[in-house]
Amino acid sequence: MKKAILMCTCSFACPSMKDLNIPELAERVRMEIPHDFMLLHGRLCEDNGENLMESLLKNDGTIYITPACKIEKQKKLLRDGFQRAGVEMTDKIWKPVSIQFKNTDQAFEDIKKVVEEIK
């Protein structure tokens, strides 16, 4: 089982992420949270994000952790990317984390918790 972290940065411009230092967050996640791979994308919910998801996501037991906007919003906005990849967004495969309205430490702790809970 692999753990893949797909972090969506919302164009690095979303007011709801203004308290996040995204480069610092990404580097802390990379260094301190065990996982198989991580990527950052500016807008996973737009065409080029969905293209990426279609090419990358696999039904091979990989668990996808998505630090991004509110979970309910991700559910709608990331649906097409998962669908195009043929990967079902079940609770087992998809682990969303909301990093909106958080500072870097809070977002880091929330991502860490979700990744550590994966068995």
Shortest approach of ligand SF4 to residue 74 CB, angstroms?
6
Closest CA to 5 of 49, 62, 47, 59: 62
Shortest approach of ligand SF4 to residue 7 CB, angstroms?
9
24: its two tokens:
């610092």
Q: Which is nearer to ligand SF4, 44 or 85 (CB)?
A: 44
Shortest approach of ligand SF4 to residue 119 CB, angstroms?
26
Shortest approach of ligand SF4 to residue 96 CB, angstroms?
10
| C-alpha 115 chain-centroid distance | 11
Q: Which is nearer to ligand SF4, 45 or 57 (CB)?
A: 45
Distances in Å between the alpha carbon of 93 and those of 66, 97, 110? 11, 13, 18
The residues of the shown chain that bind ligand SF4, judged by CB under 6 A, are 8, 10, 14, 43-45, 68-69, 73-74, 77
Q: Which is nearer to ligand SF4, 69 or 85 (CB)?
A: 69
Q: Give the separation between CA 96 and CA 8, rounded to whole angstroms.
A: 11
Q: Give the separation between CA 88 and CA 84, rounded to whole angstroms.
A: 10
Q: Which is nearer to ligand SF4, 33 or 44 (CB)?
A: 44
